[in-house]
Amino acid sequence: MSDVTEQGAAEGGGRRARGEGRGAAARRASRTGGGPGPSLPYIQRRIREYEVLDEEGLQLIERNADVVLEEIGIEFRDDAEALDLWKAAGADVRGQRVHFPKGLCRELLKTAPKDFTWHARNPERNAQIGGKATVFAPVYGPPFVRDLDGNRRYATIEDFRNFVKLAYMAPSMHSSGGTVCEPVDIAVNKRHLDMVYSHIRYSDKPFMGSVTAPERAEDTVAMAKILFGDDFVENNAVTLNLINANSPMVFDETMLGAAKVYARHNQACVVSPFILSGAMSPVTVAGTLTQILAEVLAGAAFTQLIRKGAPVLFGTFAASISMQSGAPTFGTPEPSLVSYGAAQLARRLGLPFRTGGSLCGSKVPDAQAAHESANTLNMTLLAGTNFVLHAAGWLEGGLVSSYEKFMIDQDQLGMMQKMAEGVDLSEDAQALDAIREVGPGSHYLGCAHTQANFQSAFYRSPLADNNSFEQWEIEGEKRIEQRANALARSWLEHYEAPYLDPAIDEALKEFIAKRKDSMPDAFT
Amino acid sequence: MSDVTEQGAAEGGGRRARGEGRGAAARRASRTGGGPGPSLPYIQRRIREYEVLDEEGLQLIERNADVVLEEIGIEFRDDAEALDLWKAAGADVRGQRVHFPKGLCRELLKTAPKDFTWHARNPERNAQIGGKATVFAPVYGPPFVRDLDGNRRYATIEDFRNFVKLAYMAPSMHSSGGTVCEPVDIAVNKRHLDMVYSHIRYSDKPFMGSVTAPERAEDTVAMAKILFGDDFVENNAVTLNLINANSPMVFDETMLGAAKVYARHNQACVVSPFILSGAMSPVTVAGTLTQILAEVLAGAAFTQLIRKGAPVLFGTFAASISMQSGAPTFGTPEPSLVSYGAAQLARRLGLPFRTGGSLCGSKVPDAQAAHESANTLNMTLLAGTNFVLHAAGWLEGGLVSSYEKFMIDQDQLGMMQKMAEGVDLSEDAQALDAIREVGPGSHYLGCAHTQANFQSAFYRSPLADNNSFEQWEIEGEKRIEQRANALARSWLEHYEAPYLDPAIDEALKEFIAKRKDSMPDAFT
């Protein structure tokens, strides 16, 4: 690691070494009407969590999960090291099936942190994961995009960069995420390099690592070390990494391989059963919660076998399946109940919790998309979720990253951030003097208290049209997705890259070039 | 009251005297794919309430409301009787301004019921108001409609009948509501007669009365007596009636006149401050809650001066005002915090609570409309709201009743009703045997537990499209409002009126004709 790089890491990638920084540029862009307001720090919730299970119900699910772990067991597939580690830890391993003595996983998880800092190259963008913090990250994984010309097509690296830029600019998006879309114009075995680079180059918010193969996880760590320095990475979480369980009750070689790399380097794993109830879990909420808890206990405890103290999250991706068509469904009541319950189980376990987002099954950003997303997102906030993947841009069951929906969703994230502030009970907010001043039959529009407070009083949506019908008609009868389209174009026009130390940039490019030269393109 | 009528009342308007009843017809229509499933009884929530204020905060708001009541007072305008009643009750009346000694309103409210039954002519449709019950009613008040041909135009009595029919058919709509739209093709002083008649004739769910003048309230009561019988009406709530405060801190002659009629006949009043924060109340949540509590305490206590024990609700209509355009805004965080807080204050006061609905400012049922509606509706359910006006059909800040939005909203009401059931923790729902049977790496689609439970496991939306993109494309790339349009047409085609005793029908028509003949048409 060169001195230049170390220096860069200490200064958050050198962001503040020159230039005016992001805040001033954002404020200027905002004044001119083209860009967003300044980015907000991660949410520190001042509202309480909503709960759907009482103590008795929670204990019931926990007992049942213990039965699943001990009697049925969890498979750790095609990973001899994992099985050896479990044997050494005292589990009963039969073939690839691991049976866990009661209490073993909980005991192992005592070394996992209750909360931790997810570091960004700009320290102002560091995010707390756990406790009262909530952190939003964009959609993850779609191979397709709905672009700004209305085309549904395969995603490219250009789309990927655009979504990173939009996430960087969105005030209530606290991370630029991970696979914001799959850049299918780049070879499968190389695209992770361009993805990680894009997160570093076009944003200064914290980002996620590649999990599609152990060597890609190693590449992610290597690039993070160029940015932050070796020691910093080994001692701090600079990436969050999505480790899906292959539900029901399986962790496969790929996920285990990635989890081992990240945990070894002290990077955070989000152990997430990916559940479509009725297919990957029982058709009931209680049965689904039991299986989720068992899977997370096994997967999260595994990270502690790799490295005690490695950060790990209790993840849940909950949807249902249509028993008519077999298609996944989103924003319905049952997954909400699952997520509320899982959040409670995670708090009792002392692990940060991931669920939710702005999920939907609709093909277009219409009222179906919005209802399903809003039902999911309101639940996500009130459940007390710490890390929210898919918080913006998700369309069509996760097959599509949509520019328009990204803009609509990020506006809703702003509302959630305001909601999380709860009720201000200060003397000024009580407004007794204003009520005295105005009195019966008058109005508050001009009173001093209103004038002094209105700027901060209400969340202001950049997309909602609340004008009169006549005004709206004159302006072309636009639907919200048309306004979202215009806003996305405007933001991308006003985008300014955050400063990155040229020496770091050069080192990253060199690393990427070397890695790409070392292997032929693979397309599967 | 004739014997025939009394008989009718005893049998719920004679509904079950002949014919197969609503359930069978609905099931048949549903099987043929054209109509909805059978109507569901009102919601009995098995989930807890979400709260945003702690004990200290609640006491603070209550103390401040007492200050408003005592120091500032509430105006009861142009109603000498009201002022005399307050004087006699021990209030300090100065001009039209009533100042309330600390504790007076709370003392008077001790005679108001904590909950009561809102009677329908079909007793199966009776709804509990209060406690753990939640009751949905359609949009109230719009002078315009967005019709099924896409036109925005003045509403007619034909639209009114259609919305009553749709409310009657919607499974999770528990009331046919009140002014589902303003039938502006009928004289202002006569249209209430046609409205009340439409509720009685085209639905058998509970309905709301006219409040636009005391004599129209009297007409409502007279028509209710024809339907239910004199004694029944005097001893039971058969109408819910919207008494808006003229915020800030005024009750006007019209509202007081209607309130007096209804309370005198033991009919329920929903005392609702109509609040756009920043205009009718302080720009802050705490200040708004203070004013709402003061207004409700005064207005609700007034109903007990008229008749001790008359049912009365703590109502809240909360929105904000755009400080840029002056337009009302909906579905934003601040009104949600107001409503959550008001629900807590109502529970402490021991009154049933009304707020929320599916509110929005959008001109079309797009993603803006859906986000705003969903944010409001999720809050409404979790707040523990007892009576939900505007639960379906509201568009454009309440200026428009939309057929398409009605259909989309009523689908969401079904989701809320399912959500309210909470988590089933029965042994069957725990599904341990299913987890044992399926085991790691398999799937639950074909297992016995899934087959036995899937019919009731998940809420099934009649409008959400969760098919593949390709299937959706083949079917014409329809947006949800197009599917909603088709569903509304299909329901209206399949509509069958519930049975109404012809003698009652005749008596109602006679009454209406006599009343209409007694006055010239008025158009303002």
**Domain residue spans in chain A?**
42-50+87-419
Give CA–CA dist B132/B128, Å, rounded: 9
**DSSP H or E stretch at residue B99:** strand B97-99
Give CA–CA dist B278/B204, Å, rounded: 40
Average pLDDT over residues A505-515: 98
Q: Is there a contact between B51 and A53 if contact means CB atoms under 8 Å apart?
A: no
Q: Is there a contact between B287 and A363 if contact means CB atoms under 8 Å apart?
A: no
How many other C-beta atoms lie within 10 A of the C-beta of residue B524? 5
Contact A161, A155 (CB under 8 A): no
Give CA–CA dist B55/A9, Å, rounded: 47
pLDDT at A1: 32
User: At residue A9, does pLDDT exceed 50?
Assistant: no
Q: Which residues pair with A494 in a beta bridge?
A: none
**DSSP H or E stretch at residue A405:** helix A403-419
Q: Is there a contact between A323 and B458 if contact means CB atoms under 8 Å apart?
A: yes
Provide long-range contacts, Cβ within 8 A and 24+ apart, for B514-517. B515/B190, B515/B193, B515/B219, B516/B190, B516/B193
B contacts of A415 (beta carbons < 8 Å):
331-333, 375
How many other C-beta atoms lie within 10 A of the C-beta of residue A289? 36
- Closest residue to A285, CB basis, from B325, B368, B424: B424
Q: Is A111 exposed, middle or buried (0-12, 13-18, 19+ CB in 10 A)?
A: middle
How many other C-beta atoms lie within 10 A of the C-beta of residue A512? 17
Q: Which residues pair with B375 in a beta bridge?
A: none
CA dihedral A482→A488→A493→A495, nearest 10 degrees, is 160
Give CA–CA dist A171/A162, Å, rounded: 16
Residue A398 tokens read as: 């996760």
Q: Is there a contact between A332 and B396 if contact means CB atoms under 8 Å apart?
A: no
B contacts of A463 (beta carbons < 8 Å):
368
Strands B144-146 and B152-154: antiparallel
DSSP category for residue B365: S
Q: Is there a contact between B284 and A453 if contact means CB atoms under 8 Å apart?
A: yes
pLDDT at A88: 98
pLDDT tens string A412-465 = 999 999 999 999 999 999 999 999 999 999 999 989 999 999 888 899 999 999
User: At residue A7, does pLDDT exceed 90?
Assistant: no
How many other C-beta atoms lie within 10 A of the C-beta of residue B482? 13
Give CA–CA dist B406/B419, Å, rounded: 20
Give CA–CA dist A325/A331, Å, rounded: 17
Residues 6+ apart with CB under 8 A from B312: B109, B112, B263, B268, B269, B270, B271, B300, B303, B304, B351
pLDDT at B18: 36
User: At residue A33, does pLDDT exceed 90?
Assistant: no
Nearest to A225 by CA among A1, A453, A479: A1
Q: Is there a contact between B465 and A396 if contact means CB atoms under 8 Å apart?
A: no
pLDDT at B6: 35
Reading chain B (524 residues) residue by residue, the pLDDT tens digits are 333 333 333 334 433 333 334 455 554 445 445 789 899 999 999 999 999 999 999 999 999 999 999 999 999 999 999 999 999 999 999 999 999 999 999 999 999 999 999 999 999 999 999 999 999 999 999 999 999 999 999 999 999 999 999 999 999 999 999 999 999 999 999 999 999 999 999 999 999 999 999 999 999 999 999 999 999 999 999 999 999 999 999 999 999 999 999 999 999 999 999 999 999 999 999 999 999 999 999 999 999 999 999 999 999 999 999 887 889 999 999 999 999 999 999 999 999 999 999 999 999 999 999 999 999 999 999 999 999 999 999 999 999 999 999 999 999 999 999 999 999 999 999 999 999 999 999 999 989 999 999 888 899 999 999 999 999 999 999 999 999 999 999 999 999 999 999 999 999 999 999 999 999 999 87
Strands (E) in A90-224, as ranges, are 92-94, 97-99, 116-118, 127-129, 133-136, 144-146, 152-154, 207-208
Q: Which residues pair with A144 in a beta bridge?
A: A154, A400
B201 to chain A nearest CA, in Å? 33
Whether omega before A248 lies within 30 degrees of 0, making that bond cis, reads: yes
Residue A485 tokens read as: 């389209």
- The Cα-based distances of B229 to A119, B137, B158, B380, B497 in angstroms read 72, 24, 28, 35, 22
Residues 6+ apart with CB under 8 A from A403: A145, A146, A147, A148, A162, A163, A166, A393, A484, A485, A488
Mean pLDDT across chain A, nearest whole number?
93
Residue B448 tokens read as: 């016995």
Residue scoring higher pLDDT (A72 or B457): A72
Q: Write down the residue that tokens 């019931």 correspond to.
A: A60
Average pLDDT over residues A368-392: 98
A contacts of B248 (beta carbons < 8 Å):
435, 438-444
Lowest-confidence segment of A23-37, A394-408, B192-206 by average pLDDT: A23-37
- Closest residue to B52, CB basis, from A47, A278, A469: A47
B353 to chain A nearest CA, in Å? 20
Q: Is there a contact between A290 and B431 if contact means CB atoms under 8 Å apart?
A: yes
pLDDT at B33: 53
Q: Is B324 exposed, middle or buried (0-12, 13-18, 19+ CB in 10 A)?
A: exposed
Residue B305 tokens read as: 């001066």
pLDDT band at A8, cuts 50/70/90?
Answer: very low
Residues 6+ apart with CB under 8 A from B355: B315, B316, B317, B318, B339, B342, B343, B380, B383, B385, B388
Strand, coil or helix: B204: coil
CATH class assigned to A42-50+87-419: alpha beta
Q: Write down the residue that tokens 């509904």 correspond to.
A: B15
Q: Report chain B's terminal Cα–Cα distance, integer Å.
A: 34
- Closest residue to B479, CB basis, from A329, A364, A416: A364
A contacts of B279 (beta carbons < 8 Å):
443-445
Q: Is there a contact between B422 and A51 if contact means CB atoms under 8 Å apart?
A: no
